[in-house]
């Protein structure tokens, strides 16, 4: 008999962040959640406003949304819809400084949804591990597949500037 997966909403600050930074914050939150709960990724379905709303909009829809008077409110509203299906919510480091995350937290409190906050120290540790993994992946794409920096950036969503910096480090 298959057990029901736990649904966990990941709340991350997004305003002023690049897609790559948002992705990293979400990835760090997921890794920390699995570590804290000592469970496998197979036991959890992670949901978030970035993948659940923003990434699902096509270019035309994004143009429409970007013209709204309160664009952030549009995304927050859809994120709250996703929260309604969550068993738990994990708040990424920095949530206290993000209006949307604070609102999501207040909703979780009001509706009794269990919450976990990610600590800065653990986030930094996991971020370093992810960065090291990304560096290794980028190096392999260059050496084994012969991709250009631009091609690697497109495939990995890591900026060309960052990849160039890493290649300079590899040469040292």
In this predicted structure, what is the pLDDT of residue 21? Answer: 79
Which token pair is 166? 């890493």
pLDDT at 124: 66
What was the pLDDT predicted at 127? 63
In this predicted structure, the answer to whether residue 106 has a pLDDT above a threshold of 80 is yes
Question: Alpha helices, DSSP H only, in 38-98?
Answer: 49-52, 59-66, 71-83
Q: What is the pLDDT of residue 45?
A: 95
Burial of residue 96, with CB atoms counted within 10 A of its CB: 0-12 exposed, 13-18 middle, 19 or more buried: exposed
Q: What is the pLDDT of residue 130?
A: 66
Q: What is the pLDDT of residues 23-36, one digit of tens each?
A: 888 888 898 889 88
CATH architecture of 6-118: 3-Layer(aba) Sandwich (3.40)
Report residue 126's pLDDT band, with 50, 70 and 90 as the boundaries: low
């Amino acid at each position: 008999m298959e057990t029901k997966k736990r649904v966990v909403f990941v709340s991350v600050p997004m305003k002023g962040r690049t897609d790559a930074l948002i992705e990293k914050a979400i990835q760090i939150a997921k890794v920390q959640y699995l570590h804290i709960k000592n469970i496998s990724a197979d036991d959890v379905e992670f949901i978030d406003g970035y993948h659940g709303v923003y990434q699902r909009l096509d270019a035309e829809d994004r143009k429409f949304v970007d013209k709204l008077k309160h664009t952030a409110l549009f995304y927050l509203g859809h994120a709250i819809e996703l929260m309604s299906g969550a068993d738990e919510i994990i708040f990424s480091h920095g949530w206290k400084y993000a209006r949307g995350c604070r609102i999501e937290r207040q909703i979780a409190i009001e509706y009794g949804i269990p919450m976990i906050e990610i600590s800065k120290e653990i986030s930094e540790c996991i971020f370093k591990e992810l960065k090291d993994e990304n560096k290794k992946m980028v190096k392999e794409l260059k050496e084994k597949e012969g991709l250009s920096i631009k091609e690697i950036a497109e495939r990995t969503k890591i900026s060309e500037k960052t990849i160039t910096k890493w290649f300079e480090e590899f040469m040292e």
